[in-house]
Amino acid sequence: MTTRRHFLRVLGACAGVGAGVGFYTFEIEPGWLEIVRRPLPLRRLPPPLIGRTVAHLSDIHIGPMVSDDYVIDTFRRVAALKPDIVVITGDLMSWCQGWRDHVAAVYREVPRGRLATIASLGNHDYGPGWRDHAIGDSLAAVLRSCGITVLRNQMLDVEGLQIVGLDDLWAKRFNPGQVLPTLDPSRAAIALSHNPDTADLPVWGNFEGWILAGHTHGGQCKPPFLPPPVLPVRNRRYTSGEFHLAGNRRLYISRGVGHTVPVRFNVRPEATLFDLQGTNG
Ligand SMILES: [Fe+2]
């Protein structure tokens, strides 16, 4: 009898822990944003930009799976940091019927950089199947109407810093040859490229500096001390965070703000605030 009572008590405790973990995974962590602050050292950074900040948002996924209130609260938290430059590295939406008005209403609230507010596109920005170029073009127009500069294999000069926005790999719009050869190698540059696998492609030439990416969402769920089991990249090292690459390049992968499925465990959503630093190394 005592053994049976003990067994039922253990079973009850396990069920309680399971329910708690489930509640946390579905209801808490997907909306528990972490603001990550870190340096962004760049060679040949123009002196007026030393100490300025770049806010990096990625994978916001406006649509049926992500709460607008959560995104707008994230926008307000980032705006309160008064970033000099805001960059968004793709998957700004998850396509659904009636997306235009919805996306426009949310991105009207986007935090503005003092100097620039820039986005590049990701695979989800091209609709179902990721290949509908008309949807990508329409989204770019909506974002521009909200005051965001959308770079599609283009470069914007921000006070002497070259910011390159590369279009999406899976949408078959990644075309670095259109923009990288136009860069001035004597000046600092940052590239926005949604899919971190692009960092491994033999396309970068003498590009030095940072590639900012997203796409993985950090895997969304990760057992402690182990890599996430689900990652949409060829290079399985590319989970999240910083990676040193050949050619004096560095890659930073954001865990993203939103999600495609509202589940996160041990991979909190992220907005990143970089402090621009000059460096000789
Ligand atoms: Fe995404």
Q: How far is the CA of 19 from the centre of ligand 1 (A)?
A: 27
Locate tokens 């004597």: which residue? 186
Distance CA 42, CA 45 (A): 6
Residue 217 is predicted with a pLDDT of 98
pLDDT value of position 216: 98
- Whole-model pTM: value is 0.94
- Ligand 1 mean position, distance from CA 70 (Å): 16
CA–chain centroid gap for 174, Å, is 17
DSSP structural state of residue 200: G
- CA 281 – ligand 1 centroid, Å: 32
- Centre of ligand 1 from the C-alpha of residue 99, in Å: 16
Tokens found for residue 244: 């040193």
Mean pLDDT in consecutive groups of 10 residues from the start of the chain, 281 residues: 63 71 92 98 96 98 97 98 98 96 98 98 96 97 98 98 98 98 96 98 96 98 94 97 96 98 97 94 58
**Tokens standing for 54?**
């770049």
In what order do the strands lie in the sheet containing 85-89? 34-43, 270-279, 53-57, 85-89, 116-120, 149-150
Beta strands in the chain (DSSP E): 34-43, 53-57, 85-89, 116-120, 149-150, 154-158, 161-165, 189-192, 209-213, 241-245, 249-253, 270-279
